């Protein structure tokens, strides 16, 4: 699987598709691209800000 595919899927899904018995094996091959974590933080921040405005 390519990095792009892995980034769009949950690691559990990748684990199942690749036939890994243990998530640790999937993690060995799931190299996150630079900025992936930053993008995740941005998404979570946006969701939290939307939630705050509803209260």
pLDDT of residue 3: 57
Answer positive or negative: Cα dihedral of 37, 11, 43, 4. positive
pLDDT above 60: residue 5: no
**How far is 12 from 29, CA to CA, in rounded Å?**
13
Average pLDDT over residues 9-21: 87
What's the pLDDT at 21?
Answer: 94
Contact status, residue 26 vs residue 9, Cβ threshold 8 Å: no
What is the arithmetic mean of pLDDT over 29-50? 74
pLDDT at position 13, please?
A: 87
pLDDT at residue 23 greater than cutoff 70:
yes
Question: Is pLDDT above 70 for 54?
Answer: no
Q: Are 32 and 47 in contact (CB under 8 A)?
A: no
């Amino acid at each position: 699987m390519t990095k792009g595919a892995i980034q769009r899927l949950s690691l559990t899904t990748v684990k199942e598709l690749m036939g890994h018995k243990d998530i640790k094996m999937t993690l060995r091959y799931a190299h996150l691209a630079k900025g992936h974590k930053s993008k995740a933080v941005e998404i979570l921040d946006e969701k939290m800000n939307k939630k705050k405005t509803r209260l």
